[in-house]
Amino acid sequence: MEYLFFMFLFLAVYPYGIYPGVVYVMSRLFNNPWHKGDISPPLTIVISVYNEEKVIGEKLKNTLSREYPEELLEVVVISDGSTDKTNEIVSGFKDQRLILKAFLERSGKTACLNRVVPETKGEIVLFTDANSMFTSDAFLKLVRNFFDNNVGLVTGWSKYLRKGGGEESTGIYSRLEMKTKYWESLVSSCVGADGAIFALRKDLYKPLDEQDINDFVIPLQVISQGKRVVLDPEVHCLEESSKGKEDEFRRQVRITNRTLRAILRNPVFLNPFRFGYFSFFLLSHKLLRFMVPFFAVGAFLTNLLLAGRSTIYFSLAITQILLVILGLANIKGKVEGKVANLCTFFLLTLSAQLSGWIRMVRGVSDTMWTPQR
């Protein structure tokens, strides 16, 4: 029973608390940096939207005013069956660089990308969301990574800001994700991209299955073609998080469901004889992380069975119970603070991951997205 407890405890802690340290050490031992250079290739910005009337105007002003040669920039808005004023607002912008692709019926973001990306003019295609704002030099910083011919896809990362200022607890997690992916990039390729800001060489784009989660599967496609997927920590976008806990929960459920499906459809990437270090990264960063709910439950149950054997096991059981209570109290608005927020974040994340597993086993496919603004 004790062996089981420590095994479950290690596996529950490893993806979030140990793996980042492991990959940091690997980035020092097996450092393989890529080369950057000042280049300005033709660039297409693809903004996928559905009923984004509240933010699309600001997004377009932000995108069209960034530093990049005007004659080399194209901005394509893909409207997936929007029923509000999104299309009207986009059409109101009189800028030759801007193109609206409005589809009457919803088919999902991935299906829309399959229809539009082949028609874009850019050598580099950058994907982004309507509520993610670029820094002034984001485009220039991003494309310089493509100076290295071995780089096929470049991702940035998102800073999540509170309306009153400062980063949310999700922002702290985002920073840890950024550093982990950067260390992975220094060894070979990072796992997945940030859907709010990532770009690839257009000639590497392959049609996706409509159920695919694009910011996870597109990087896999790039790696399968012998190119690297890297994160540049100097490239980021800003997002004022307006999501409530319920909205964030639903988002995590959808991500878990679709990512697990993608891994099951692409098991070859877990073969280290073909993909080397990346297979280890994929196993640790994604698959084991999505299994943490099961490991955490296993650790808790075995801890309860061991609680009567010693003060240490009893204290560990009480600590786990108190952390869950603290997270629940924070959800109800009874308790505030960084520790409480962190407890809530992990409680919601693990619950969402468990729900994502259940939906996948039941055959539910979350191909549609509905932004909550």
Query: Per-residue confidence at 336, pLDDT binned at 50, 70, 90?
Result: confident
Its sign, for the CA torsion 328, 329, 330, 331, is positive
Length reported for the chain: 373
Q: Which amino acid is at 101?
A: K
pLDDT top residue among 323 and 364: 323
Which range among 63-77, 213-227, 266-280, 345-359 shows the weakest confidence by mean pLDDT?
Answer: 345-359
The per-residue pLDDT for 212 is 87
Mean pLDDT value of segment 336-365: 86
Residue 172, pLDDT > 80, answer: no
Mean pLDDT value of segment 40-46: 97
The per-residue pLDDT for 79 is 95
Query: Per-residue confidence at 242, pLDDT binned at 50, 70, 90?
Result: low
pLDDT top residue among 227 and 213: 227
Mean pLDDT value of segment 265-288: 96
322 exposure class (CB count in 10 Å sphere: 0-12, 13-18, 19+): exposed
Structure-token pair, residue 136: 């002034």
Mean pLDDT value of segment 26-31: 97
Q: What are the residue boundaries of the structural domains of the chain, listed by start?
A: 43-262
Alpha helix (H) ranges present in 238-310? 245-265, 272-275, 277-282, 288-290, 292-306
Q: Which amino acid is at 100?
A: L
Query: Per-residue confidence at 13, pLDDT binned at 50, 70, 90?
Result: very high
Using CA atoms, how far apart are residues 277 and 263, in angstroms rounded to an integer? 17
Residue-averaged pLDDT of the chain: 91
Residue 162, pLDDT > 70, answer: no
Structure-token pair, residue 246: 């319920």
The per-residue pLDDT for 164 is 58
Mean pLDDT value of segment 28-51: 96
Structure-token pair, residue 134: 């670029």
Q: Residue 80 belongs to what H/E stretch?
A: strand 73-80
Which range among 35-44, 68-77, 172-181, 277-286 shows the weakest confidence by mean pLDDT?
Answer: 172-181
What are the C-alpha distances in Å from 24 to residues 19, 28, 37, 322? 8, 7, 25, 32
- 3 state DSSP class of 325: helix
Closest CA to 79 of 61, 100, 60, 96: 100
110-152 pLDDT per residue, tens? 899 999 999 999 999 999 999 999 999 999 999 999 999 999 9
Residue 217, pLDDT > 70, answer: yes
Residue 100, pLDDT > 60, answer: yes
Residue 326, pLDDT > 60, answer: yes
Query: Per-residue confidence at 165, pLDDT binned at 50, 70, 90?
Result: low
Query: Per-residue confidence at 163, pLDDT binned at 50, 70, 90?
Result: low
The per-residue pLDDT for 173 is 73
Residue 367, pLDDT > 90, answer: no
Residue 171, pLDDT > 70, answer: no
CATH of 43-262, one of 3.40.630.30, 3.90.79.10, 3.40.720.10, 3.90.550.10: 3.90.550.10
pLDDT top residue among 152 and 254: 152
Mean pLDDT value of segment 266-285: 97
Mean pLDDT value of segment 256-284: 95
